[in-house]
Amino acid sequence: MAERMTYLLVDGENIDATLGTSILGRRPRPEERPRWDRLLEWAERAFDQDVSGLFFLAATTELPTSFVQALLAIGFKPIPLSGEGKVVDIAIQRTAEALVDREADVVLVSHDGDFVDQVSALADGSRQVGIIGFSEFVNAQFRSLPGVRIFDLEYDLGAFNSALPRTRVIPIDEFDPLDFL
């Protein structure tokens, strides 16, 4: 029997769109994007087991070869998809539904409420389930699911090389006035 695994399901387009539209107000430059390898490393430490990183992306006309090669090099399994509709959402939903029957932990990297039903089914008490994103943009329905933990891509995982221009509620124990002077 195989050892228990953590599946890391990445909705890269959702993270990129939120970063660009809601945080930066423009298309992110390559150095402003998450360091995806840090997600794999974090998940291995946080769940203390092997991680299978599945990175879903839309590839309507051509395969983004350099990005796919970079994902492979850091240990992700890229899943380029084409077709009608929200192909990335459909594939993540199907994958999450297939994971219900496996003894595995699951972490979804997305803010998208389209996955609430699938995450709810996974949060059956038999596994650890997490959501990674920018916490202020994570769909509120995820917060009401028992046992689902929310992790911030920047603050909890340290997935960026420099601080993003975000406004957030700061716990007083974390407040450093030098950050604002």
Residue 135 has pLDDT above 80, yes or no: yes
**pTM attached to this predicted model:** 0.91
pLDDT on residue 2:
59
pLDDT (tens digit per residue) in 137-154? 999 999 999 999 999 999
pLDDT (tens digit per residue) in 150-176? 999 999 999 999 888 887 778 899 888
The rounded Cα 92 to chain-centroid distance in angstroms is 11
Residue 1 has pLDDT above 80, yes or no: no
Q: What is the CATH number of domain 5-179?
A: 3.40.50.1010
Distance separating alpha carbons of residues 154 and 73, to the nearest angstrom: 22
Rounded percentage of the chain residues whose pLDDT exceeds 90:
78
